[in-house]
Amino acid sequence: MDIQNLKREFLEYIEITKGRSIKTVENYDHYLSRFLEFSKASAVADVSEEKLREFRLWLNRQPGTNGNMMKRKTQNYYLIALRAFLKFLAKRGIKALPPEHIELAKVPERSLDLITANELERLMKAPVGNGLKELRDRAIMEMFFSTGLRVSELCALDTDLDLSRDELSVRGKGDKVRVVFLSPTAKTSVSAYLKARKDMAEALFVRHSTGKKIPSRLTPRSIENIIKNCAIKAGITKKVTPHVIRHSFATDLLENGADLRSVQALLGHANIATTQIYTHVTDKHLLDVHKAFHGKKRVK
């Protein structure tokens, strides 16, 4: 069997057996195709250490955004796909380059885009009025801050939300279901928005300027624009996205004493290492420790 057929079987395997999303399968197809095109590999034996080294060098010299070279994180996406493919071959008993020979590039520690508590409050109050759009935008932001949802998860919500309960189940990355919680403010905002709606749309958050009897569901890009416009109204000069509110959700919990494992579960992170980007919040007490105990014996 040639390598193209094996690639097809691998993509079917991660979609059906591993339950990966169609978008993930498309991305893996893209990354693997780029490697196979570059290496001119037609058989598994053609995937060698030398070809891998040449491909990594080529990736490192490819242009990225803003005229810079491709980011290390993006380069790693190609290597992760190739490593997963090689693991699949090993599982099938096909002799190939060992997947552990692929070492990912070291990437800089991720930085967080954060807004202050004051800026967050101004953002939440930016939609002024009781029109449908204002009620919707207020409900969107209260839902983000109450639940820590990803923008795609928020877009997928429907009007059959049970507001008599304080929790709801959402299907997130990797098709995994988790429970998130609704604050009284979020429930009040969503309830006010739904009462004002006269349409029969299934989606919880919809467009209201199309003139259609059944308005269309908001897309992630639409919600990003809503948050951006609210930030401008609130006089916030930083870039504010749905993910920034997700960060605020996580840091708020940690600052008020929540443990990292609980925050991991609420965010839907598969790995605790992803949640550890927020440890700067839990380390704030170290400044107090330093001030209280450092240099006490030095002669003034």
Q: What is the pLDDT of residue 300?
A: 58
Catalytic entry in 51, 72, 87, 173: 173
Q: Is the pLDDT of residue 109 over 70?
A: no
Mean pLDDT, range 198-226, rounded to an integer: 89
Among this protein's residues, is 246 annotated catalytic?
yes
**Mean pLDDT over each residue of the chain, to the nearest integer:** 89
Q: What is the pLDDT of residue 100?
A: 93
Long-range contacts of 108-117 (CB under 8 A, 24+ apart): 108/72, 109/277, 110/277, 112/247, 112/277, 112/278, 112/280, 113/238, 113/239, 113/241, 113/243, 113/244, 113/247, 114/244, 114/247, 114/248, 114/251, 115/236, 115/238, 115/240, 115/244, 115/248
Q: Which stretch of 3-7, 29-33, 150-154, 282-286 has the lowest confidence by average pLDDT?
A: 282-286
Among this protein's residues, is 294 annotated catalytic?
no
Q: Is the pLDDT of residue 280 over 80?
A: no
Q: Is the pLDDT of residue 283 over 70?
A: no
Among this protein's residues, is 8 annotated catalytic?
no
Specify the pTM.
0.70
Catalytic entry in 150, 187, 193, 247: 150
Mean pLDDT, range 240-255, rounded to an integer: 91
Catalytic entry in 7, 20, 246, 247: 246
3 state DSSP class of 203: strand
Catalytic entry in 122, 133, 233, 243: 243
**Total Cβ atoms within 10 A of residue 252:** 16
Q: What is the pLDDT of residue 281?
A: 63
Q: What is the pLDDT of residue 282?
A: 62
Q: What is the pLDDT of residue 29?
A: 96
Among this protein's residues, is 278 annotated catalytic?
yes
3 state DSSP class of 287: helix
Q: Which domains does the chain have, with CATH numbers?
A: 3-101 (1.10.150.130), 117-285 (1.10.443.10)
